[in-house]
Structures are given as structure tokens and as C-alpha cells.
Chains A and B, each alone.
Chain A
């Protein structure tokens, strides 16, 4: 069964460094998402992406964040200058469409630790 994959599974970085989290969505899906979960808190929506553009973003997704689909398979989340509070589990998801019948399929997550 097709699945969303994410690399790395765990990323440790120093505060102020740039990180890129990578995701490979399901191949025929058109909508892509990033969510994050700070330890002990809710899973929060960050951004959705369709047709090479951001379609929705939350207040969390500020100028420090960017997303890109650099080729036909990868979907990346970049954090330009990491802060301690960026430490979280980051989940990538994809869906075929945006309708209610279109399930969002999630990857296993990347745990980002900022020191």
C-alpha cells in the first residue's frame, strides 16, 4: 500500500541553524500538508500546498518557514533559523484532493530537537 515517507526520523540541530525536513508524498496525490506537535500539545496545522503554491497557512507558519516541491516527488519544509521552541514532531501529509472524501495520509514524522 502506498505510504507517505519522511526523512530523517530524528534531526538534532543547534539554535540558529537551518534545517530541511523531507517528505515523499503518495505519488498521485496533489495536496500536501505539514503539521507539527510540540511535546504534550496538540497536533497543529502549519501549511497546505497545491499546484506549487501555498493554499493555506496558519499563524505559526511565519517568515522563518518555507515549503517547496523541488521535483516531482519530494515536498520539503525549511526552517531558516531554528529556535528552541521549534523542537517538535513534524508530520507531512498528502491527499488526492481537497474534498471531504479525500483522506489525508500522514507520514511517521520527523522529530526535530533544537539545542
Chain B
């Protein structure tokens, strides 16, 4: 069974500061990993995903995430926060075999302070 833990339901950063949103997963096999973002009144939008290969994955809007198998982590980072990054961020996993449904974390609300 897969599960995801997102540490910190709320994260605040200053504009221009580093963004770090944490995600740890539990899976019996190396899963596929995803970050989704939800802006107000919009659907969840895929930021990036890891399947196989290079462990550092680059996504849209300057975000990237690194798959660390030894730490069972897939933390999301961005070097410099922008006001437009304020949103809810969801980490998710999916089994590489079988069903294609996603298992999500509880989400992290990012606030960017001017």
C-alpha cells in the first residue's frame, strides 16, 4: 500500500526566499511520485512527476523535486519564491504496477509574504 505524508500544513516564506515543501512516502516498491498545485478556485494542476531515471525532476514555474530513495522523500523546492506561487501544494504517489489511482497527502498551503 502507498501513502504520503506532507510535513507542515502551512508554510510561509518571504518573496525571493527559498521554498521547501516536504513530502515523504511509504511504498513497498519504488512508486511514481507527483506534485500538484491548486490555485484558488481552480483544479489541481500537475507541477512535476518522477517515474524513473534522473532523480532530480524539473517542473513548471521554476519548481523542482528530488527523489531520494534512501530517505523515502520527494521534497519540492524553488530557489526564489514569487507572490504568484501562493497556492496549495499536494504530493501524490502511484503504484508503478496495477491501478493508476493516486494517493495524496493532506496538502501544504504556501503563503508568500511581500
Give chain A residues whose Cβ lies under 8 Å from the Cβ of B43. 3-4, 91, 105-109
Given A42-B105, A43-B107, A106-B36: A98 and B42 within 8 A (CB)? no
- A75 within 8 Å of B by Cβ? no
Contacts of A108 in B (CB 8 A): 41-43
Size bracket, chain B contacts: 20 to 34
Do the beta carbons of A40 and B106 come within 8 Å of each other? yes
Which A residue sits closest to B92, measured CB to CB? A43
Q: Which residues of the other chain, A, contact B105 by a CB distance below 8 angstroms?
A: 42-43
Measured CB to CB, the residues of A under 8 A from B are 3-4, 9, 31, 33, 35, 37, 40-45, 48, 55-56, 58, 91, 93, 95, 98-100, 102-109
Can you report 13 A-B residue pairs in the complex whose CB atoms are below 8 A from each other?
A9-B41, A31-B100, A37-B104, A42-B103, A42-B105, A43-B107, A45-B102, A48-B99, A56-B99, A58-B101, A99-B100, A103-B49, A104-B46
Q: Hey, which bits of chain B sit against chain A, CB under 8 A?
A: 4, 9, 32, 36, 38, 41-46, 49, 51, 90, 92, 94, 96, 99-107
